[in-house]
């Protein structure tokens, strides 16, 4: 289909720039993008007949990574060596 309506996974690397330019970065557009991403994640991993631990574990792992990233400056002060 046309470039602007394809989901991100089906956009090739070379077309990424043009695809980003077709996105709407208004608050409504961003909210719509977040909602679409969340609903597609739910439909794929959570709203299934036989889901496993994968659906929630990925969310938790993402949360761990994000929280490590937010507190990185605090962790940097507890390094074991000064020079790497």
Partner 1 sequence: RALCPLVPSAPAALRALPPPVAVGVLHTTRPLHTTQQSLAPVPPLPEKGGEVRHGLIPEEFFQFLYPKTGVTGPYMLGTGLLLYLLSKEIYVVNHETAAAACILTVLVYAIKKFGPNVADFADKLNEEKMASALAMKNDTIQTLQTAIEEEKKEQWRAEGRSYLFDARRNNIAMLLEANYRERLLMVYNEVKKRLDYQVALQNLKRQKEQDHMIQWVEKSVVQSITPQQQKESIAKCILDLKALSKSAHAAV
The dihedrals phi and psi of 50, each to the nearest 5 degrees, come to -120, 75
Stretch that binds partner 1, among 10-18, 19-27, 31-39, 56-64 (CB under 8 A): 56-64
47 belongs to the binding site for partner 1 (CB under 8 A): yes
59 belongs to the binding site for partner 1 (CB under 8 A): no
Single residue of 15, 20, 32, 68 touching partner 1 by CB under 8 A: 68
Angle (deg, nearest 10), helices 27-45 and 54-70 = 140
Residue 54's contacts (CB-CB under 8 Å, 6 or more residues apart) are: 45
**Shortest spacing between CB 81 and partner 1, in angstroms:** 7
Task: Provide the b/e sequence for 12-29 (b: ≥16 CB within 10 Å).
Answer: eeeeeeebeeeeeeeeee
50 belongs to the binding site for partner 1 (CB under 8 A): yes
Residues of this chain that interact with partner 1 (CB under 8 A) are 9, 44-55, 57-58, 61, 68, 75-76, 78-81, 84
């Amino acid at each position: 289909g046309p470039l602007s309506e394809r989901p991100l996974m089906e956009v090739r690397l070379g077309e990424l720039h043009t695809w980003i330019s077709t996105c709407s970065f208004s608050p409504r557009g961003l909210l719509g993008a977040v909602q679409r991403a969340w609903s597609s994640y739910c439909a794929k991993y959570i709203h299934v007949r036989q889901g496993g631990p994968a659906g929630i574990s990925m969310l938790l792992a993402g949360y761990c990574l994000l929280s490590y990233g937010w507190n990185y400056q605090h962790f940097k002060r507890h390094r074991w060596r000064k020079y790497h």
